[in-house]
């Protein structure tokens, strides 16, 4: 059903280094010839912070669009509202509200996470590297996402171990 580039890696916002930190994990991944990217929803949420998005070799991919959650000129429509809805259902354990008009901060974070995963899936990418175990890993979420979309979700530590295995 899905066509994935097995050498493609998407970095979640929470994996990107601060300005004063080295981007050693990203450099190491780039040295292995992997196709590295970040979702541009990251750019908007990081305005005014010291987190780096301008890392050499870390290409922007368009975010999936949801009202007030992405720049219109740097996004694409969600691949399929049913996919975005499915992702939201898994992330929220079925509790995400039908109406997105008055989301609380936690629901906004869940929507942002869902948009990042939707963009990752939509762009045919394979590995998503994240620190967000609550949204993407715990309570069987990783297995559900990996089974549904033929992707891999890894924490930074798991990804670093994966890179060591490429030697």
The Cβ of residue 137 has, within 10 Å, a number of other Cβ atoms equal to 18
Domain locations along the chain:
5-165
For the stretch 96-135, pLDDT in tens is 998 888 999 999 899 889 989 998 998 899 999 999 999 9
Structure tokens at 71: 């720049």
Our CA angle for 83, 84, 87, nearest 5°, is: 85
Q: What is the pLDDT of residues 71-98, one digit of tens each?
A: 445 545 444 466 888 999 999 999 999 8
Q: Is 100 left (phi over 0), alpha (psi -120 to 50) or beta?
A: alpha
Q: What pTM was computed for the model?
A: 0.83
Contact 61, 126 (CB under 8 A): no
């Amino acid at each position: 059903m899905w066509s994935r580039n097995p050498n493609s890696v998407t970095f979640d916002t929470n994996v990107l280094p601060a300005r004063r930190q080295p981007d050693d994990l990203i450099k190491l991944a780039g040295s292995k010839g992997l196709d590295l990217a970040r979702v541009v929803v990251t750019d908007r949420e990081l305005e005014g912070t010291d987190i780096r998005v301008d890392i050499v070799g870390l290409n922007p991919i368009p975010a999936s669009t949801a009202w007030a959650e992405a720049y219109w000129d740097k996004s694409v429509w969600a691949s399929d509202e049913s996919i975005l809805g499915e992702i939201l259902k898994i992330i929220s354990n079925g509790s995400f509200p039908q109406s997105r008009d008055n989301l609380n901060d936690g629901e906004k974070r869940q929507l942002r996470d869902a948009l990042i995963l939707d963009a990752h899936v939509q762009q045919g990418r394979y590995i998503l590297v994240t620190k967000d175990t609550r949204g993407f890993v715990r309570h069987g979420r990783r297995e559900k996402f990996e089974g549904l979309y033929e992707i891999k979700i890894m924490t930074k530590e798991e990804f670093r171990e994966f890179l060591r295995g490429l030697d």
